[in-house]
Amino acid sequence: MTLRGLYLITPDDDDSDRLVERVAAVLSAKPALLQYRNKRADATRRFDEARALKALCDAAGVPLVINDDWRLALDVDAAGAHLGEDDGDLVEARRAAPRLVLGASCYDELARAERAVAAGADYIAFGAFFPTQTKTTTRRATPDLLSAAAPLRRSRVAIGGLTPDNAAPLVAAGADLLAVVGAVFDAPEPLAAARRFNALFLGTPAVAGHPADAASFS
C-alpha cells in the first residue's frame, strides 16, 4: 500500500448509487487510500455502501479504510479503519484486528499522536490545517506539528480544508498523505483535482528514516 499521496474521503451523499458513481469516477487517479465515511446512515446502509465501495476499490487497486468502525472494516474485509477520539479504543482494535491498518485522529496534539502510536496506530492524522465545511472543528494544526511528529516514525496525514493550492507546504513539512473530501468531490472536474493532489508529491522525497521510505504497510 502506497503511503504517499492523496487520501480520499467519501462525501456525504444520501443516494447510495450516486455515491458509488462519484467514487468510481475518481479512482483512476489512484489515491493512496479511500476512506468510507458516513455519519448519517444506519448500520445496514453503512454495510451495503462499504461493501459496494470495497468491490470498486479492489478493482482499482486502492485500499479501503472504514471511518469510525473497525468491526465494519473486518466485516467487509477492508484494508483498515480510522478512529477518532470517540470511536472506540485503539488498543482494543489493534488486539482484535491485528491485520487492519489503523489510523488515529490526533487533531492538534503531539501527545495524542504519541499515545496513538504506543497503542498500535499505523498512521497519525493532524488537523484541521485550514477552515473546513466537512465538520465542525475548533482545533487548528500547524505545519510545525507535522515536522515534530517525524520521530514517531509513522505516516503523517494532514486534513482540514486542503486544496491543491494550499497543501504544498504541508507536504514539505512532512505530510505523507493529504486527506481530502470537498476539494475533490465538489470540484468542477473531480478526477483532475485528485490528480493535482497526487502531483504535489512528485519530486518531494520522503523524510529520511521515515517509514514512507519503504512506501508500504507490512
- Write the pLDDT tens digit of every residue in 1-15: 457 999 999 999 999
The whole-number average pLDDT for the span 119-128 is 96
**Residue 218: band (very low, low, confident or very high) from pLDDT cuts 50, 70, 90:** very low
Q: Where are any strands of DSSP class E within the chain? A: 5-9, 33-36, 64-67, 80-83, 101-107, 123-126, 155-159, 177-180
Please report the domains of the chain, with CATH numbers, ordered by start residue: 5-203 (3.20.20.70)
Distances (CA, A) of 181 to 24, 26, 48, 83: 14, 12, 21, 17
Contacts (Cβ under 8 Å, ≥6 apart) of 203: none
Report the pLDDT value the prediction gives residue 145, as an integer from 0 to 100. Answer: 97
Is residue 105 pLDDT above 90, yes or no? yes
In whole angstroms, give the CA distance from residue 172 to residue 193.
20
**Residue 199: band (very low, low, confident or very high) from pLDDT cuts 50, 70, 90:** very high
CB 101 within 8 A of CB 121: no
Report the pLDDT value the prediction gives residue 215, as an integer from 0 to 100. Answer: 36
- Residue 123: name the closest of 79, 182, 73 by CA: 79
- Residue 122: name the closest of 148, 90, 146 by CA: 90
Cell numbers for 83? 478512529
pLDDT tens readout for residues 27-84: 999 999 999 999 899 999 999 999 999 999 999 999 999 999 999 999 999 999 999 9
Catalytic (active-site) positions: 37, 105, 135
**Residue 138: band (very low, low, confident or very high) from pLDDT cuts 50, 70, 90:** low
CB 107 within 8 A of CB 127: yes
